[in-house]
Structure formats: structure tokens, C-alpha cells
């Protein structure tokens, strides 16, 4: 028996704004800095979906990669690519789109769609210098 981890990368480009309407303007600037700019800004996000489990001994694969790619595309990329994360994405309604929250929400979006409980980790890169990881813990 051999446990293998497989990482699949995907990309989306989106606008967002970090702003909590229940806090004062000045508190928003103190916490989010220029990320709270009223008209928004944006990023090229890189999403890494990590699945973990035993490869099928007959095929040597953990999961059909074309199938995984399709799931990631239909569940996440189609929803978030070339979108405004504050306004266009139902799954993010009422959620401040920080990298932390995005990695948690994407985990929830994928959890049931990835078969056999294979989903292990979500890695979301917001900029070259910034990455959030969530494992459903």
C-alpha cells in the first residue's frame, strides 16, 4: 500500500476589495491597507489542488487527471475567472475575499465534488509573495 499526493495547478484572474462594512473606514485601512481601495484591485490567482490516496494498482493513477481538471474548472475556475470576487461569485456572498477565506471557500466548493474523499489540501497563491493553505482542519 502506497499513499501518494498529487498536485494539480489551475489559474484565474479576478478583481476584489477587502472591506468590512461593519468597521470604520479608518479601521478598514488599518487592517487591509491599500487592499481596501474603494474601486478594487485584482490578481492572477494560482490554485493548487492537492489530492491524496492510493493509486489504482491496475492503472497507476490516483485519479483521472482529465476528470480532476474538469471538476476544478467547472466548480472553481468558471465561477471565479475574470470575475469580481465581491460581486459576481455566489459562493462568496457575505464573505470578505481574503486569501485565507478564498482557500477555505474553495475547499468547501471542491470537497464533495472530488470523488472518494481524495481532497487533501488547497493552496491559493494571490501574489508571487503570498500564499494561503487550507486542509479542512
**What are the catalytic residues?**
35, 82, 126
**Among 84, 71, 76, residue whose Cα is nearest residue 43:** 84
Binding site for a copy of itself (CB under 8 A): 2-11, 13-16, 18, 20, 22-23, 31-35, 37, 39-44, 55, 58-62, 64-66, 81-84, 86-88, 95-101, 103-104, 127-135, 137
**Residue 62: HSE in the Cβ half-sphere, 13 Å Cα cutoff:** 19
CB 135 within 8 A of CB 121: yes
The distance of closest approach from Cβ of residue 81 to a copy of itself in the complex, given in angstroms and rounded to an integer, is: 7
- Virtual CA dihedral for 50, 55, 58, 63, nearest 10 degrees? -20
The distance of closest approach from Cβ of residue 113 to a copy of itself in the complex, given in angstroms and rounded to an integer, is: 19
Contacts of 38 (CB under 8 A, 6+ apart): 17, 19
Cell of 91: 459562493
* Nearest to a copy of itself of 2, 26 (CB atom): 2
* Nearest to a copy of itself of 116, 135 (CB atom): 135
The distance of closest approach from Cβ of residue 35 to a copy of itself in the complex, given in angstroms and rounded to an integer, is: 6
* Nearest to a copy of itself of 65, 112 (CB atom): 65
CB 77 within 8 A of CB 34: no
The distance of closest approach from Cβ of residue 9 to a copy of itself in the complex, given in angstroms and rounded to an integer, is: 4
* Nearest to a copy of itself of 81, 113 (CB atom): 81
Amino acid at each position: 500500500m502506497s499513499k501518494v499526493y498529487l498536485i494539480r495547478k489551475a489559474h484565474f484572474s479576478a478583481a476584489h476589495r477587502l472591506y468590512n462594512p461593519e468597521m470604520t473606514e479608518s479601521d478598514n485601512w488599518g487592517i487591509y491597507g491599500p487592499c481596501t481601495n474603494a474601486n478594487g484591485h485584482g490578481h492572477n490567482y494560482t490554485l493548487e489542488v492537492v489530492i491524496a490516496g492510493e493509486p489504482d494498482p491496475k492503472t497507476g493513477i490516483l485519479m483521472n487527471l482529465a476528470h480532476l481538471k474538469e471538476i476544478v474548472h467547472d466548480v472553481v475556475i468558471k465561477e471565479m475567472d475574470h470575475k469580481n470576487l465581491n460581486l459576481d461569485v455566489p459562493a462568496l456572498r457575505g464573505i470578505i475575499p481574503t486569501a485565507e477565506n478564498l482557500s477555505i471557500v474553495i475547499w468547501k466548493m471542491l470537497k464533495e465534488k472530488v470523488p472518494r474523499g481524495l481532497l487533501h489540501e488547497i493552496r491559493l497563491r494571490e501574489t508571487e509573495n503570498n500564499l494561503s493553505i487550507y486542509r479542512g482542519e
